[in-house]
């Protein structure tokens, strides 16, 4: 199929200084090509050639699954049997087929098969869902050159290194491509890399001039070249290679590389050649294999299992020793003490002559008999509960994002309880905290503040202050929203600015916004509406603001900018042409951007916008008229979380400009190592003596509810770190916007911006640079720790802000512990310019260094490593990209849903799972120790007191369903109270509900219940006839009576432990008890061959006997009395925090604001971040 597509005749970006300086040349660094680390050779348009085939490069198939068809069975079985309890039951199941078994093999092995099978099925289903998502990505279609200029669609997974592909507008790049040409004459294209680095501003890429002539599909057939480049690596921002084309060699740079999962924007199409495919692509190189994550609760549960194994082996050893001694004395001078064991004619298991061997065999029998101390159904019950908890998370309407039709999605249920124990959150910024849009909201012109809109920060502060003014003003707004523009002020809008006292300065202010930029206008041919493509969201917001006020930038050529603006004199719209002379680009060192233009009157104007700390020092003495008022406004804007820039201008004389331009061109064309320094020196000399116009305030639009969410999480005692690829200034502004930073908070800045290091960089001595950089980072860390130490015990809050270069040194083995110690002492931590690898390394450092639960949240492919490294990975299912979601444990649509996910679902899941595990051990100790006590009373004869199937079905039918219901439905407090009292969350962080003290307490409760059940039943049935016929109670009657009492006790104990009853819980508790009676009837009615000693035991023996019913009434009451007494005393004198909240609700004080505030104050610490802490700090400042 042939598709040519017209070429867009637009700007030649290569002629704009800020773009052309990025072109590569054959420098020394390219001499590495062909050496170690630079051995990759790509034969363009020849993927089937012999040379390409022998290199055996990876295909383009990408997988995020944990298992494959081949590895599922062995790997999944390993996952199951690495759980020590499952491995133990496998051993006892095998031993059950030997004569040593005290019960039938079938009754032992079937429960294990059910448990393992159910868990493996659940794992398989979860991984199949991941597989389906992989299939969707790998089966996306892209046009690939098939030969003779024909392109056809093929799946991504089929791409090979060397393939030529055609990617069209708004499509993702299927692999790492080398750009050959595009629909633009200069072979440039716009690329959105939000999925990789989180940045929404479009990046400009440009192909080599020699390949830019490929204009149509048919041109491809004649194209053949060889690319030699670096081997696959994880560095997103570097690429080094050469292209051999038509017997010439051309240098390649990152300017020509299009990365997988980035998106083609505002370009009709591009041609590219596949350089790296599949696992070799940079985005996949930045990811790690999906780990098998286990929660801390589950790991601790294994330790409890080990403890119970210790108890089990101890009981078995004691019983076996006692049994060996007794067996040896069974036959003494012809006298048989235990005549019923026939010691004179017994098997080896009871032979007095071989007592040591008999003791060893008894030990193995005891291991099987007492195995009921270990809850076989614990794991499968927890799996069922976690899956059902995940369903509730998925179905929570409060975490459903209606605008995008996206609910929460728990992609794995293994970590539900971890959500209730999070100590530190590590968050991406762009797309996670923000919603990828900038809005022009306020400005200060000539000392007067304009703009009546309110930021998210101001709204939240207003709500907390109970201010009706803010909300009332917001409610009056009924105008249609304009993307990038949220400015409301009748003094400026609708041309009213001409009536302002400083109308001439307002005109210059908005004219500067309309002219000082590098944006490109796009005119909609249907509506005539002008849209803009800008290199940053800020610039787009500025030109949109200028347009809405009446200064519409509508056309750009390589040498001019056209603006349609309101003429003050005539009141009419007029077109003005500004000749573009120079663009002095923005960078993080200069912190400003300027253009030099010539207006229609022939005047040369320098228009400049930049950060306040560099702009104020460049003002002329006669240009500072409104400096104090502007600074005051800037402070207010910063407090409202806005990004600010200062606008200023000056008029250049003709000779002054001519001199500057000559120096500027000379500096640009310099090839010396200090080229950038020369350019900066020239621009510094012209960007001075400026006249202040005012300041802009742009809101880096946060997602709805982010500040409130952060505030609640901070009150819950959770630490929040921001790891972003953005520059430091942007990250700091967002920190203020979401109240991670506040005025008065001491900022500890760690960066490598020092004159000494700049000098070393010019000299190019890498060893000296490394040594100096390392020393500077250490100095900053030591200085920061000294500040923390000096203020210890005070109320001063600190924020740590570090850039990517410094972070590389801070993460070195001998420094990272010092860095972590400093970071943990700060209220906020912001890491800027972080690479994906650094994000993962920081996450690993926090996780391993603190030993506490970490949660990472992000939305882009650059966050994948961080999500997988953290204990819990939360993916934001944003508008673009699914890479983060596919690698996450839980996906949500908005950051604000994290509040409910952690404080409500996290708390509930942690409490439910913790209580459930404690109860499991309680009920099994109650059951297992009763078996031990009976065997002890029969001199450890190895016979169980219960029927085989009574033993097997206890954990499956008669005690498991109520605990599953508790794990799914129980609530200590409602969702509303979880959010009203965030400190409740600390019960999980401090592991209050699953501490060893609580676990041992439940075990002692089980021991008490077992002792009461056994001795009360034994004593009640022992001394007299059991029924009117004079029959005494045998093992069958005693066993059935004890079993009945046990079923009542453990189920009533569940009823006492539950805080929130539902119909299902009632059904399961009383249903389990009823089921036991029905089972006795049904099982007892079977033939004696099947029912053995349970044959009609209930109908003929137990039911007609009043003493049986009296025992089953009194024994449960006696067994539960100790727990009831302890709980009452604890509630009265030493209540836990959730018990206090329950009591508040019970007393009806939940709506008493003064009392609730008093309780909430316990969660507010001096170093807390968020709005509540900000208001508290401001109040304290006013009081002082």
Distance CA 511, CA 541 (A): 14
Distance CA 427, CA 1112 (A): 56
170 in catalytic set: no
Residue 985 CB partners (closer than 8 Å, separation 6+): 420, 716, 717, 718, 902, 903, 906, 907, 978
Three-class SS state of 568: coil
Do residues 184 and 178 lie in contact, with contact meaning Cβ atoms separated by under 8 Å? no
Do residues 959 and 1083 lie in contact, with contact meaning Cβ atoms separated by under 8 Å? no
Look at residue 291 in the predicted model and tell me its pLDDT: 63
Residue 135 CB partners (closer than 8 Å, separation 6+): none
Do residues 1093 and 1036 lie in contact, with contact meaning Cβ atoms separated by under 8 Å? yes
Q: What is the pairing mode between strands 164-168 and 150-155?
A: unpaired
The chain-wide mean pLDDT, for the chain, equals 82
Q: How many CB atoms lie within 10 A of CB 32?
A: 12
Confidence of residue 292 (pLDDT cuts 50, 70, 90): low
Do residues 948 and 103 lie in contact, with contact meaning Cβ atoms separated by under 8 Å? yes
Distance CA 800, CA 846 (A): 15
Does 1180 have pLDDT greater than 70? no
Do residues 851 and 397 lie in contact, with contact meaning Cβ atoms separated by under 8 Å? no
Distance CA 1119, CA 1016 (A): 10
Q: How many CA atoms lie within 13 A of 491 on its CB side?
A: 14
Does 1184 have pLDDT greater than 70? no
Q: What is the mean pLDDT of residues 149-157?
A: 90
DSSP H/E element including 397? none
Q: What is the mean pLDDT of residues 281-292?
A: 72
Confidence of residue 1173 (pLDDT cuts 50, 70, 90): low
For 418-430, the pLDDT digits (tens) are 999 999 999 987 6
Do residues 438 and 542 lie in contact, with contact meaning Cβ atoms separated by under 8 Å? no
Residue 96 CB partners (closer than 8 Å, separation 6+): 103, 104, 105, 108, 109, 368
Does 881 have pLDDT greater than 90? no
For 895-932, the pLDDT digits (tens) are 999 999 999 999 999 999 999 999 999 999 999 899 89
Angle, CA of 892, 896 and 898, to the nearest 5°: 60
- Chain centroid to CA 1136: 30
Look at residue 197 in the predicted model and tell me its pLDDT: 60
Helix axes 960-969, 378-395, angle to 10 degrees: 30
Distance CA 984, CA 715 (A): 10
Which among 146, 165, 155, 137 is positioned nearest to 65, based on CA atoms?
Answer: 137
Do residues 86 and 379 lie in contact, with contact meaning Cβ atoms separated by under 8 Å? yes
For 1147-1165, the pLDDT digits (tens) are 666 565 655 565 555 544 4
What's 624-672 look like in SS3? CCCHHHHHHHHHHHHHCCCEEEEEEEEEECHHHHHHHHHHHHHHHCCCC
Does 1022 have pLDDT greater than 80? no
Does 1117 have pLDDT greater than 60? yes
Q: How many CB atoms lie within 10 A of CB 435?
A: 18
Of residues 1048 and 279, more confidence is placed in 1048
Distance CA 588, CA 411 (A): 40
Does 5 have pLDDT greater than 80? no
Do residues 455 and 640 lie in contact, with contact meaning Cβ atoms separated by under 8 Å? yes
Distance CA 289, CA 399 (A): 29
Look at residue 693 in the predicted model and tell me its pLDDT: 94
Does 1023 have pLDDT greater than 70? no
Q: What tokens does 691 get?
A: 């006249």
Q: Which of 326-330, 429-433, 502-506 has the highest mean pLDDT?
A: 502-506
Q: What is the mean pLDDT of residues 807-822?
A: 91
* Candidates 127, 197, 217, 428; catalytic one: 428
DSSP H helices, 526-653, are 537-549, 612-615, 627-639
Distance CA 107, CA 92 (A): 12
Which among 760, 580, 590 is positioned nearest to 682, based on CA atoms?
Answer: 590
Distance CA 584, CA 608 (A): 9
Look at residue 406 in the predicted model and tell me its pLDDT: 87
Look at residue 830 in the predicted model and tell me its pLDDT: 92
Which among 723, 221, 105, 792 is positioned nearest to 430, based on CA atoms?
Answer: 723
Look at residue 1154 in the predicted model and tell me its pLDDT: 58
DSSP secondary structure letter of residue 969: H
Distance CA 731, CA 430 (A): 10
Do residues 372 and 76 lie in contact, with contact meaning Cβ atoms separated by under 8 Å? no
For 356-396, the pLDDT digits (tens) are 888 888 888 888 888 888 887 787 788 889 889 999 999 99
Which among 287, 165, 158, 275 is positioned nearest to 227, based on CA atoms?
Answer: 275
For 772-801, the pLDDT digits (tens) are 889 999 999 999 999 888 877 666 788 899
Confidence of residue 158 (pLDDT cuts 50, 70, 90): very high
DSSP secondary structure letter of residue 520: E
């Amino acid at each position: 199929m042939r598709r040519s597509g017209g070429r867009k005749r637009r700007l030649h970006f290569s002629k704009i200084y800020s773009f052309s300086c990025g072109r590569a040349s054959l420098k020394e660094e390219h001499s590495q090509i062909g050496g170690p680390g630079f051995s990759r050779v790509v034969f363009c348009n020849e993927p089937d050639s012999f040379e390409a085939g022998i290199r055996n490069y990876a295909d383009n198939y990408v997988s995020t699954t944990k298992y494959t068809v081949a590895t599922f069975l062995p790997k999944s079985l390993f996952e199951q049997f690495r759980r020590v309890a499952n491995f133990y039951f496998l051993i006892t199941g095998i031993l059950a087929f030997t004569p040593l078994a005290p019960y039938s093999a079938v009754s032992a092995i079937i429960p294990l098969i059910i448990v393992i099978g159910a868990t493996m099925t659940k794992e398989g289903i979860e991984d199949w869902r991941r597989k389906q998502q992989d299939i969707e990505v790998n089966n996306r279609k892209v046009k690939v050159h098939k030969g003779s200029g024909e392109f056809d669609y093929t799946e991504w997974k089929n791409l090979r290194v060397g393939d030529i592909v055609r990617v069209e507008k708004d499509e993702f790049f299927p692999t790492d491509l080398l750009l050959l040409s595009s629909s633009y004459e200069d072979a440039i294209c716009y690329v959105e890399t939000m999925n990789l680095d989180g940045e929404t501003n479009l990046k400009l890429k440009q192909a080599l001039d020699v390949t830019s002539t490929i204009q149509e599909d048919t041109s491809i057939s004649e194209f053949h070249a060889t690319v030699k480049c670096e081997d696959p690596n994880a560095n997103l921002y570097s690429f080094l290679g050469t292209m051999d084309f038509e017997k010439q060699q051309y240098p390649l740079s990152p300017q020509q590389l299009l990365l997988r999962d980035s998106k083609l924007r505002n370009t009709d199409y591009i041609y590219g050649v596949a350089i790296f495919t599949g696992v070799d692509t940079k985005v996949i190189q930045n990811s790690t294999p999906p780990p098998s994550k286990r929660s801390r609760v589950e790991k601790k549960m294994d330790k409890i299992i080990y403890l119970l194994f210790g108890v089990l082996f101890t009981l078995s050893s004691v019983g076996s020793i006692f049994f060996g001694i007794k067996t040896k004395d069974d036959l003494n001078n012809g006298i048989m003490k235990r005549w019923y064991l026939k010691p004179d004619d017994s098997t080896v298991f009871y032979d007095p002559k071989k007592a040591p061997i008999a003791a060893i065999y008894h030990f193995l029998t005891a291991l099987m008999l007492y195995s009921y101390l270990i809850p076989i159904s614990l794991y499968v019950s927890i799996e069922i509960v976690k899956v059902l908890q995940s369903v509730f998370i998925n179905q929570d309407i409060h975490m459903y994002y209606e605008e995008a039709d996206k609910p929460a999605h728990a992609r794995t249920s293994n970590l539900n309880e971890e959500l209730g124990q999070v100590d530190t959150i590590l968050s991406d910024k762009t797309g996670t905290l923000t919603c990828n849009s900038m809005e022009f909201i306020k400005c200060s012109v000539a000392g007067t503040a304009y703009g009546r809109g309110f930021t998210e920060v101001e709204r939240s502060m207003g709500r907390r202050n109970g201010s009706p003014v803010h909300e009332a003003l917001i409610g009056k707004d009924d105008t249609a929203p304009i993307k990038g523009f949220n400015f409301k002020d009748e003094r400026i809008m609708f041309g009213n600015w001409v009536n302002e006292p400083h109308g001439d300065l307002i005109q210059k202010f908005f004219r500067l916004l309309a002219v000082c930029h590098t944006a490109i206008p796009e005119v909609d041919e249907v509506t005539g509406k002008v849209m803009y493509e800008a290199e940053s969201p800020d610039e787009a917001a500025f030109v949109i603001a200028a347009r809405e006020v009446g200064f519409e930038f509508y056309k750009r050529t390589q040498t001019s900018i056209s603006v349609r603006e309101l003429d003050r004199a005539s009141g009419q719209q007029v077109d003005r042409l500004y000749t573009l002379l120079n663009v002095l680009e923005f960078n993080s060192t200069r912190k400003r951007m300027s253009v030099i233009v010539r207006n229609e009157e022939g005047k040369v104007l320098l228009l400049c916008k930049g950060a306040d700390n560099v702009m104020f020092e460049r003002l002329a003495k006669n240009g500072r008229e409104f400096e104090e008022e502007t600074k005051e406004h800037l402070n207010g804007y910063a407090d409202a979380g806005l990004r600010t820039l200062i606008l200023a201008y000056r008029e250049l004389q003709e000779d002054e400009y001519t001199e500057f331009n000559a120096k500027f061109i000379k500096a640009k064309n310099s090839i010396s190592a200090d080229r950038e320094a020369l350019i900066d020196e020239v621009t510094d000399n012209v960007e001075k003596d400026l006249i202040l116009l005012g300041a802009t305030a742009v809101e880096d639009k946060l997602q709805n509810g982010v500040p409130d969410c952060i505030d609640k999480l901070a009150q819950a005692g959770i630490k929040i770190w921001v790891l972003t690829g953005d520059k430091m200034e942007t990250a700091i502004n967002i920190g203020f916007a979401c109240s991670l930073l506040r005025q008065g908070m001491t900022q500890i800045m760690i960066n490598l911006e020092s004159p000494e290091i700049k000098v070393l960089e010019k000299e190019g001595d890498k060893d000296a640079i490394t040594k100096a950089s390392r020393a500077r980072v250490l100095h900053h860390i030591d200085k920061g720790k000294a500040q923390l130490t000096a203020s210890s015990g005070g109320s001063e809050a600190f924020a740590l802000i570090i850039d990517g270069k410094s972070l590389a040194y801070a993460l070195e083995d001998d420094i990272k512990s010092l860095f972590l110690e400093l970071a943990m002492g700060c209220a906020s931590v912001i890491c800027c310019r972080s690479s994906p690898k650094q994000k993962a390394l920081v996450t690993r450092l926090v996780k391993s260094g603190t030993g506490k639960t970490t949660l990472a949240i992000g939305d882009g492919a650059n966050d994948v490593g961080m999500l997988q490294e953290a204990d819990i990975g939360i993916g934001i299912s944003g508008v673009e990209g699914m890479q983060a979601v596919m690698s996450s444990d839980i996906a949500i649509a908005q950051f604000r849903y994290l509040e409910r996910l952690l404080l409500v679902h996290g708390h509930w899941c942690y409490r439910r799972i913790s209580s459930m595990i404690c109860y499991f051990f309680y009920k099994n100790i109650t059951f297992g120790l009763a078996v031990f006590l009976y065997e002890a009373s029969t001199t450890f004869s190895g016979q169980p007191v219960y029927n085989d199937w009574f033993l097997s079905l206890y954990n499956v039918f008669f005690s498991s369903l109520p605990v599953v219901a508790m794990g799914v439905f129980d609530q200590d407090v409602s969702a509303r109270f979880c959010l009203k009292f965030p400190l409740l969350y600390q019960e999980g962080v401090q592991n209050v509900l699953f501490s060893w003290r609580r676990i041992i307490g439940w075990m002692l409760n089980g021991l008490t219940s077992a002792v009461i059940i056994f001795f009360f039943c034994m004593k009640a049935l022992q001394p007299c006839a059991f029924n009117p016929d004079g029959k005494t109670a045998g093992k069958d009657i005693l066993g059935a009576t004890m079993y009945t009492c046990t079923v009542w006790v453990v189920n009533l104990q569940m009823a006492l432990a539950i805080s929130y009853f539902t119909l299902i819980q009632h059904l399961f508790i009383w249903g389990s008890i009823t089921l036991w009676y029905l089972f006795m009837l049904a099982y007892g009615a079977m033939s004696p061959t099947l029912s053995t000693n349970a044959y009609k035991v209930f109908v003929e023996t137990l039911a007609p006997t009043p003493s049986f019913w009296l025992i089953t009434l009194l024994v449960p009451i006696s067994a539960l009395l100790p727990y009831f007494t302890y709980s009452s005393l604890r509630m009265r004198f030493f209540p836990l925090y959730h018990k206090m909240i329950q009591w508040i609700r019970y007393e009806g004080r939940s709506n008493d604001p003064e009392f609730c505030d008093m309780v909430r104050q316990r969660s507010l610490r001096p170093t807390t971040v968020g709005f509540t802490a900000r208001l508290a700090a401001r109040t304290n400042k006013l009081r002082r």
